Structure 1
Amino acid sequence: MKLPLSLAVLATPFALAACTPEAPPPPEPETVSVDPCGAARYSHLIGQTSPTISVPEGQMYRIAREDRPMTMEMIQDRLTFIVDSRGKLLSVSCS
Protein backbone atom coordinates (compact mmCIF):
# COMPACT_ATOMS: atom_id res chain seq x y z
CA MET A 1 0.00 0.00 0.00
CA LYS A 2 1.48 3.33 -1.06
CA LEU A 3 0.84 6.59 0.75
CA PRO A 4 -0.43 9.31 -1.49
CA LEU A 5 2.18 11.99 -2.07
CA SER A 6 0.01 14.75 -0.52
CA LEU A 7 -0.38 12.77 2.71
CA ALA A 8 3.38 12.25 2.96
CA VAL A 9 4.01 15.97 2.35
CA LEU A 10 1.52 16.94 5.07
CA ALA A 11 2.93 14.44 7.58
CA THR A 12 6.57 15.58 7.18
CA PRO A 13 6.36 18.73 9.39
CA PHE A 14 4.76 16.72 12.19
CA ALA A 15 7.46 14.08 12.01
CA LEU A 16 10.18 16.74 12.10
CA ALA A 17 8.53 18.57 14.99
CA ALA A 18 8.65 15.41 17.07
CA CYS A 19 12.43 15.29 16.63
CA THR A 20 13.20 18.86 17.72
CA PRO A 21 14.42 19.42 21.29
CA GLU A 22 12.00 20.77 23.86
CA ALA A 23 12.05 24.54 24.33
CA PRO A 24 13.65 25.71 27.60
CA PRO A 25 11.19 26.79 30.30
CA PRO A 26 10.55 30.53 30.52
CA PRO A 27 12.64 32.34 33.14
CA GLU A 28 10.99 32.76 36.50
CA PRO A 29 9.83 36.32 37.21
CA GLU A 30 11.90 38.27 39.68
CA THR A 31 10.39 38.45 43.11
CA VAL A 32 9.29 41.93 44.06
CA SER A 33 9.41 42.89 47.68
CA VAL A 34 6.01 43.94 48.98
CA ASP A 35 7.56 46.31 51.54
CA PRO A 36 10.92 47.48 50.13
CA CYS A 37 11.14 50.55 52.39
CA GLY A 38 9.98 48.97 55.65
CA ALA A 39 6.66 50.83 55.94
CA ALA A 40 5.18 47.99 58.01
CA ARG A 41 7.44 49.01 60.92
CA TYR A 42 5.41 52.22 61.24
CA SER A 43 1.88 50.85 60.79
CA HIS A 44 1.24 50.91 64.55
CA LEU A 45 1.55 54.74 64.45
CA ILE A 46 -1.37 55.21 62.01
CA GLY A 47 -4.19 57.10 63.70
CA GLN A 48 -1.93 58.83 66.23
CA THR A 49 -1.66 62.61 66.29
CA SER A 50 1.89 63.97 66.02
CA PRO A 51 3.61 60.62 66.62
CA THR A 52 7.34 60.55 67.26
CA ILE A 53 8.85 58.84 64.24
CA SER A 54 12.46 57.63 64.19
CA VAL A 55 13.75 56.83 60.73
CA PRO A 56 17.07 54.99 60.34
CA GLU A 57 19.98 57.08 59.09
CA GLY A 58 20.20 57.00 55.32
CA GLN A 59 16.55 56.04 54.86
CA MET A 60 14.77 58.28 52.35
CA TYR A 61 11.43 59.59 53.60
CA ARG A 62 8.95 62.40 53.16
CA ILE A 63 6.06 63.75 55.16
CA ALA A 64 3.14 65.04 53.12
CA ARG A 65 -0.20 66.56 54.02
CA GLU A 66 -3.26 64.99 52.48
CA ASP A 67 -4.61 68.34 51.24
CA ARG A 68 -1.35 69.56 49.67
CA PRO A 69 0.15 68.69 46.28
CA MET A 70 2.86 66.06 46.22
CA THR A 71 5.18 64.76 43.51
CA MET A 72 4.08 61.41 42.11
CA GLU A 73 7.39 59.81 41.13
CA MET A 74 7.73 56.25 42.40
CA ILE A 75 10.79 55.64 44.56
CA GLN A 76 10.25 52.23 46.15
CA ASP A 77 12.87 52.68 48.86
CA ARG A 78 11.36 55.95 50.14
CA LEU A 79 8.94 56.06 53.06
CA THR A 80 5.96 58.37 52.63
CA PHE A 81 4.04 59.51 55.70
CA ILE A 82 0.66 61.14 54.97
CA VAL A 83 -0.78 63.36 57.71
CA ASP A 84 -3.95 65.45 57.93
CA SER A 85 -4.16 69.14 58.83
CA ARG A 86 -4.13 68.32 62.57
CA GLY A 87 -1.00 66.15 62.35
CA LYS A 88 -2.80 62.81 62.55
CA LEU A 89 -0.88 60.10 60.69
CA LEU A 90 -3.19 58.70 58.01
CA SER A 91 -0.94 56.29 56.12
CA VAL A 92 2.59 55.02 55.64
CA SER A 93 3.69 53.60 52.32
CA CYS A 94 6.66 53.02 50.04
CA SER A 95 6.71 55.61 47.28
Structure 2
Amino acid sequence: MKRHYLAAALAVPLALAACAAPPEETPEAEADPCGSARYTHLIGQTSPTITVPEGQAYRIAREDEPMTMELIQERLTFMFDRRGELLSVSCS
Protein backbone atom coordinates (compact mmCIF):
# COMPACT_ATOMS: atom_id res chain seq x y z
CA MET A 1 0.00 0.00 0.00
CA LYS A 2 2.89 2.34 0.71
CA ARG A 3 4.05 2.06 -2.89
CA HIS A 4 0.76 3.47 -4.15
CA TYR A 5 1.10 6.53 -1.92
CA LEU A 6 4.69 7.02 -3.04
CA ALA A 7 3.73 6.74 -6.71
CA ALA A 8 0.86 9.19 -6.23
CA ALA A 9 3.09 11.61 -4.34
CA LEU A 10 5.60 11.60 -7.21
CA ALA A 11 3.00 11.74 -9.96
CA VAL A 12 1.36 15.00 -8.85
CA PRO A 13 4.46 17.25 -9.17
CA LEU A 14 5.37 15.64 -12.49
CA ALA A 15 1.88 16.17 -13.84
CA LEU A 16 1.90 19.81 -12.79
CA ALA A 17 5.31 20.36 -14.37
CA ALA A 18 4.06 18.88 -17.63
CA CYS A 19 1.16 21.33 -17.68
CA ALA A 20 3.35 24.39 -17.32
CA ALA A 21 3.33 26.44 -20.49
CA PRO A 22 6.70 27.10 -22.14
CA PRO A 23 7.85 30.71 -22.00
CA GLU A 24 6.57 32.66 -24.96
CA GLU A 25 8.63 35.21 -26.83
CA THR A 26 7.38 38.75 -26.65
CA PRO A 27 5.77 40.21 -29.78
CA GLU A 28 8.59 42.78 -29.91
CA ALA A 29 11.25 40.06 -30.10
CA GLU A 30 9.35 38.29 -32.86
CA ALA A 31 8.86 41.51 -34.83
CA ASP A 32 12.50 42.60 -34.50
CA PRO A 33 14.74 39.50 -34.25
CA CYS A 34 17.87 41.34 -35.44
CA GLY A 35 17.51 44.46 -33.27
CA SER A 36 16.91 46.92 -36.11
CA ALA A 37 14.99 49.26 -33.78
CA ARG A 38 18.34 50.29 -32.23
CA TYR A 39 19.25 52.01 -35.52
CA THR A 40 16.01 53.77 -36.54
CA HIS A 41 17.27 57.09 -35.17
CA LEU A 42 19.89 57.07 -37.97
CA ILE A 43 17.35 56.96 -40.80
CA GLY A 44 17.54 60.13 -42.88
CA GLN A 45 21.18 60.83 -42.01
CA THR A 46 23.83 60.93 -44.71
CA SER A 47 26.77 58.57 -44.15
CA PRO A 48 25.95 57.88 -40.50
CA THR A 49 28.51 56.16 -38.30
CA ILE A 50 27.05 52.75 -37.56
CA THR A 51 28.47 50.43 -34.94
CA VAL A 52 27.24 46.85 -35.07
CA PRO A 53 27.90 44.43 -32.18
CA GLU A 54 30.57 41.81 -32.82
CA GLY A 55 29.06 38.68 -34.29
CA GLN A 56 25.96 40.46 -35.61
CA ALA A 57 25.26 39.59 -39.25
CA TYR A 58 24.59 42.65 -41.39
CA ARG A 59 24.74 43.94 -44.95
CA ILE A 60 24.80 47.32 -46.62
CA ALA A 61 22.71 47.74 -49.76
CA ARG A 62 21.98 50.55 -52.23
CA GLU A 63 18.41 51.12 -53.34
CA ASP A 64 19.12 50.79 -57.08
CA GLU A 65 21.65 47.96 -56.97
CA PRO A 66 20.81 44.25 -57.07
CA MET A 67 20.99 42.22 -53.86
CA THR A 68 20.21 38.68 -52.85
CA MET A 69 16.68 38.08 -51.65
CA GLU A 70 17.19 35.25 -49.15
CA LEU A 71 15.47 35.94 -45.86
CA ILE A 72 17.75 35.76 -42.82
CA GLN A 73 15.78 37.22 -39.91
CA GLU A 74 18.84 37.64 -37.67
CA ARG A 75 20.69 39.80 -40.24
CA LEU A 76 20.50 43.60 -40.30
CA THR A 77 20.08 45.26 -43.68
CA PHE A 78 20.99 48.93 -44.01
CA MET A 79 19.49 50.43 -47.19
CA PHE A 80 21.13 53.59 -48.58
CA ASP A 81 20.37 55.82 -51.56
CA ARG A 82 22.99 57.01 -54.07
CA ARG A 83 23.82 60.09 -51.97
CA GLY A 84 24.58 57.93 -48.92
CA GLU A 85 21.40 58.73 -47.01
CA LEU A 86 20.17 55.86 -44.83
CA LEU A 87 16.69 54.99 -46.07
CA SER A 88 15.81 52.01 -43.88
CA VAL A 89 17.03 49.41 -41.45
CA SER A 90 15.38 46.00 -41.43
CA CYS A 91 15.81 42.35 -40.52
CA SER A 92 16.49 40.42 -43.67
Please report the TM-score for the alignment, with normalisation by the length of structure 2.
0.69
Counterparts of 1:29-48 in structure 2, within 5 Å, are 33-48=30-45
Q: 2:82 aligns with which of 81, 85, 91?
A: 85
Residues in 2 aligned to 1:63 and 1:47: alpha-carbon distance in whole angstroms: 15
The structure whose Rg is larger is 1
Residues in 2 aligned to 1:57 and 1:87: alpha-carbon distance in whole angstroms: 24
Q: Which has the higher helix share?
A: 2
Q: Structure 1 residue 58: deviation in Å?
A: 0.1
Q: Structure 1 residue 90: deviation in Å?
A: 0.1
Name the counterpart of 1:65: 62
| Unaligned stretches of 5+ residues in structure 1 | 1-29
Please report the TM-score for the alignment, with normalisation by the length of structure 1.
0.67
Give percent identity, aligned residues only. Answer: 77
Give the aligned residue type for 1:89.
L
| Unaligned stretches of 5+ residues in structure 2 | 1-23
Runs of 4+ residues over 3 Å off in structure 1? none
Q: How many correspondences in the alignment? A: 68
Give the aligned residue type for 1:74.
L
Residues in 2 aligned to 1:72 and 1:92: alpha-carbon distance in whole angstroms: 15
CA RMSD of aligned residues (A): 1.8
**2:31 aligns to what SS in structure 1?**
coil
Residues in 2 aligned to 1:86 and 1:55: alpha-carbon distance in whole angstroms: 22
